[in-house]
Amino acid sequence: MASTFVTLEGLARAVDRLLGMFDTSKRFLAAHPPGSIHTTTSGLNPSDLYGGRWRHMPSTGEHRWLRLEDDTATQDGDGDAFLDAWPVGSIMRTTGLDPASVGGRWERRPDIDAHAWQRVG
């Protein structure tokens, strides 16, 4: 059986790699390369938590709509297909369309993505 020797340098590299697997900051930044957008309900800048450079973005003006139960029947195939795609309980995100204009009953919900940050470096 052949002997295996471990050098101190090799052991140090292995420990560094192992510890890096648990580094939340490295994993977060790897998942959010420059140009990525991160949304959060807290006002904390991601650079304070994970590093990197981030730019606070203006609101996207997004609205959320909750599909409510109803007995609305549409008169055209497009409306029926729309309602089939958004079953009761679904939440639709839109920047302007009121989904009730296409069909069904909807309730506007608050936007929980209060802050958006774009990674710039």
Would you state the pLDDT for residue 53? 95
- What separation in angstroms does the CA of 82 have from each of 47, 68, 90, 95? 40, 14, 12, 17
Biggest CA–CA distance in the chain, Å, is 80
Q: pTM for the whole thing?
A: 0.45
Write out the H or E segment, with its range, that includes residue 34.
Answer: none
Entry field: residues in the chain: 121
Domain positions in the chain are 8-59+115-119, 63-109
pLDDT tens series, the chain, 121 aa: 566 777 878 777 777 777 666 778 887 888 888 888 887 777 789 999 999 999 998 766 677 888 998 766 555 666 778 888 888 998 887 777 788 888 888 998 876 666 888 899 8
Q: Give the C-alpha separation, 97 to 92, whole Å.
A: 10
Cα torsion 101, 103, 108, 109 to 10°: value is -140
